[in-house]
Amino acid sequence: MGISDRKQREKEERRRQIMNAAQTTFLAKGFSGTTVEDIAGHAELSPSTIYLYFKNKEELYGSLSLQGLGFLLKELEGINDVPDDRPEAKLTALKESLQNLYKSNPLLLLSVFHFQTSEIMKDLSDNLVAEIKKYSTLAIRHISKFINYGINQGKFKQVNPTAVADIVWSMFSGLLIWEESKRALDSEKQYFEKTFDLAFDLLCYGLIKENQRK
């Protein structure tokens, strides 16, 4: 391995180190309560080193959001490989993908959803904003594709696929933020999975044509 390759690998490892520290710190203190100094302390680095990689904590939070969207896209792309080609099977795979993503890293998802409803975007670089918007659009497009497939197969009602995708996205993000607020009152309770399972089943029931329901 050449010197330039080694330096690039070290740079990428340091960036991951900073993002991991930021994720842990944001989880413990929240976005408003976290400072770059807090993140630097957790990463065992100087604040000046943090600023070599990220211009501010908003940029760090936005990068975590982009990472979460990347994981989401991988889950959605995997639904195309589901061997059962029935539309309802793809919907089930979509529900399971979202639940698996929640189980694997709920903080990344929370950063995505909080980020998209905040003023943080105005403090980000144009490139990062463009990437986040692109990933969000692709996620909605993937979900729309599954809905449109069911319509073309005659299984789903004639609805606007993009509107349904927006509903799925809003339901998922809304319930996740709702659970976070509930957990603040009782840290031992877990509400999300059962509630999301019920909400998704109700959505599917309304989407499937009456003569196609079992």
How buried is 207 (Cβ within 10 angstroms: 0-12 exposed, 13-18 middle, 19+ buried)?
Answer: buried
Q: Is residue 43 a contact partner of residue 21, using CB atoms and an 8 Å limit?
A: yes
Asked whether the predicted pLDDT for residue 147 surpasses 70, the reply is yes
Name the residue with higher pLDDT: 142 or 114: 142
Domains and CATH numbers, the chain: 1-54 (1.10.10.60), 58-212 (1.10.357.10)
Asked whether the predicted pLDDT for residue 73 surpasses 90, the reply is no
Residues linked to residue 156 through DSSP beta bridges, in sequence order: 208
pLDDT for 47: 92
Tell me if residue 31 falls in helix, strand or coil. Answer: helix
Q: What is the pLDDT of residues 17-48, one digit of tens each?
A: 999 999 888 877 877 888 999 999 999 999 99
From 124, 151, 136, select the one nearest 63 (Cα to Cα).
124
The gap from C-alpha 92 to its chain's centroid, in whole angstroms, comes to 18
